[in-house]
């Protein structure tokens, strides 16, 4: 695979056995592998015990609905830091999907959740900490009106990656449109709920800087 871009098993529509086997196969090939959007993560949690995985570290993230399988001999090279913010609590699963993607790429995530416009006073210390940690970019995950990336981008001089979520009720395309139409330059956007895509994109920035 292109060095540094993780291969991924997209879990939607696949059953638990398929997912485990496909992820394991990638881990055998690349040392590490990721599965996302696993529909029945509880069942996967149970089933995976039946496999002989003594040479692997297994990490299951029930919120993110992700699975990481890593060979015990495989060492992830550390390549920098990325900030992750969410507007609400229901945006956290997508944020965690991005975080797990970054972990596979060797990037540390500095997270701060539930700091949206309705509770905007929590945003400032979170941003301050990210700047101090010298993150190379900030992933901002938001549903409903999706205005948080604009607010963040108006305050910082580093790239902001907007991730619209479908957690809101109403017209699902709204936060995507909001982010695309921002008046605060410095934002680019990935598709609705695409935490993995945001993670890869942020990881590629980190990798480029680290080189």
Ligand X SMILES: Nc1ncnc2c1ncn2[C@@H]1O[C@H](COP(=O)(O)O)[C@@H](O)[C@H]1O
9 binds, among Mg ion, ligand X, its own copies, none (CB under 5 to 8 A by kind): ligand X
Q: What is the nearest approach in angstroms of ligand X to the Cβ of residue 185?
A: 5
Q: Which of 79, 82, 87, 92: binder of its own copies (CB under 8 A)?
A: 87
Q: What is the nearest approach in angstroms of its own copies to the Cβ of residue 110?
A: 15
Neighbours of 160 (CB within 10 A): 27
Cα separation, 5 vs 27, in Å, equals 14
Q: Per CB under 8 A, which region of 42-50, 55-63, 67-75, 176-184 contacts its own copies?
A: 176-184
36 binds, among its own copies, ligand X, Mg ion, none (CB under 5 to 8 A by kind): ligand X
Cα separation, 137 vs 146, in Å, equals 18
Q: Does 77 bind its own copies (CB under 8 A)?
A: no
Q: Report how far Cα 62 is from the mean position of its chain's Cα atoms.
A: 14
The residue ranges that bind its own copies (CB under 8 A) are: 2-5, 8, 12-13, 37, 87-88, 90, 116-118, 120, 136-137, 144-147, 150-151, 154-159, 161, 167-171, 173-193, 196-198, 200-201, 204-205, 207-209
């Amino acid at each position: 695979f292109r060095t540094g871009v993780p291969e991924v098993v997209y879990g939607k529509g696949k059953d638990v056995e398929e997912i485990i086997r496909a992820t394991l196969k990638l881990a055998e090939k690349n040392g590490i592998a990721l599965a996302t959007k696993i529909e029945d993560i509880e069942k996967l949690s149970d089933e995976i015990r039946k496999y002989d995985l003594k040479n692997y570290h297994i990490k299951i993230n029930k919120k993110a609905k992700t699975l990481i399988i890593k060979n015990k001999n495989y060492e992830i090279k550390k390549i920098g830091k990325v900030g992750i913010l969410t507007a609400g609590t229901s945006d956290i699963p997508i944020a965690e999907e991005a975080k797990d993607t970054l972990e596979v790429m060797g990037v540390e995530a500095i997270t701060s959740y539930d700091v949206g416009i309705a509770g905007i006073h929590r945003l400032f210390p979170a941003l301050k900490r990210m700047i101090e940690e010298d993150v190379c970019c900030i992933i901002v995950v938001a549903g409903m009106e999706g205005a948080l990336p604009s607010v963040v981008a108006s305050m910082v001089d580093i790239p902001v990656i907007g991730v619209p979520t479908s957690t809101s009720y109403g017209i699902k395309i709204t936060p995507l449109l909001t982010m695309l139409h921002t008046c605060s330059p410095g934002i680019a956007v990935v598709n609705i709920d695409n935490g993995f895509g945001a993670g890869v994109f942020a990881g590629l920035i980190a990798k480029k800087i680290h080189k």
